[in-house]
Amino acid sequence: MNPSSPRLPPIATLGPFIALLLACVFFATQSERFLSAQNFSLILQQVMVVGVIAIGQTLIILTAGIDLSCGMVMALGGIVMTKFATDLGLPAPLAIACGLGVTTLFGLVNGLLVTRIRLPPFIVTLGTLNIAFAITQLYSGSQTVTDLPDALTVLGNTFRIGDTAVGYGVVLMLVLYFVAWFGLRETASGRHVYAVGNNPEATRLTGIPTQRVLLGVYVLAGLFYGIASLLSVARTGVGDPNAGQTENLDAITAVVLGGTSLFGGRGVVLGTLVGALIVGVFRNGLTLMGVSSVYQILITGILVILAVATDQLSRKGGR
């Protein structure tokens, strides 16, 4: 098999879909409200922020890296957007562009530290996580930003399909997944991402600029975090300096449950969407059953360990 191929072993491809289907079947037997169109729409709205962050996280994990800073960078982007719009009086499109610029800049910094100084992604992003958190708290004064212009929250609005309210932000998330899937599957740049994750040295020897690919991945991931910032602001209606504190782990969970290998080079971005939905379905279904949130976290942790174990076994079986 071509090492740059994005194909996966069948178990890694079908596993997330089977898990999602089984979860839906189980919760449908536990609550009659679970299978309603309104409930599925709610699940999608609940996962859209983490879902978009997870696109960027998928790109990085495909290159055998990891980004712990994604949640806090997302929070900083939201504070920049809202503060620039309310305190500086910038037009909403310009304020949004500034927020996207800040998150993309953090992606660039992460990428430069990984590619130029060759620091481990784990250490780099652990450091930038703390930097982003500190800047967010200092700039916001640890205060929530309110009274936002309507243009900043428009993606939190909904339109109706029959009796079901569908969020504009959900539509944007699905479009972004399709674009990412197409880019990874059908373009040379996407195939280069897989190749770098599989074997960076062999990829470099074929003439592919591996450092440039890695840098581009981190920058693009930062852009996705900025879009997630806008979705978070739109969903909550405020700029929250305390947002993003668990989104990094949630995004990594979605990527792992979606079948992307933590060792790089294997995965399908649409699987990440399925992984995010698995987490959303479990949390929603357990809430409908009246189960404590502590057990929701416990089950999510078990699912992650099972997904990583499956990945490890599939790698051993492929040798």
Q: How far is CA 138 from the centre of its chain?
A: 25
Please report which confidence band the pLDDT of residue 270 belongs to, taking 50, 70 and 90 as the band edges.
very high
Residue 299 has a pLDDT of 82
Bridge partners (DSSP) of residue 160 are: 165
Q: How many Å apart are CA 266 and CA 55, to the nearest integer?
A: 14
In whole angstroms, give the CA distance from residue 38 to residue 153: 21
Closest by CA to 231, choosing from 44, 106, 8, 86, is 44
Q: Give the pLDDT score at 317.
A: 60
Greater pLDDT, 293 or 258? 258
| pLDDT score recorded for residue 4 | 45
Q: Enter the DSSP assignment of 145.
A: B
More confident of the two residues 223 and 295 = 223
What is the reported pLDDT for 5? 44
- pLDDT confidence bin for 319, thresholds 50/70/90: low
- Using one digit for the tens of pLDDT, what is the confidence trace for 238-265? 999 999 988 998 999 999 999 898 888 8
pLDDT confidence of residue 304: 80
Residue pair 264/62 in contact (Cβ under 8 Å)? The answer is yes
Residue 8 clears pLDDT 50, i.e. is over it: no
What pLDDT does 311 receive? Answer: 73
* pLDDT tens-digit readout, 96-144: 999 999 999 999 999 999 999 999 999 999 999 999 999 999 999 999 9
Phi, psi of 143 (to 5 degrees): -115, 140
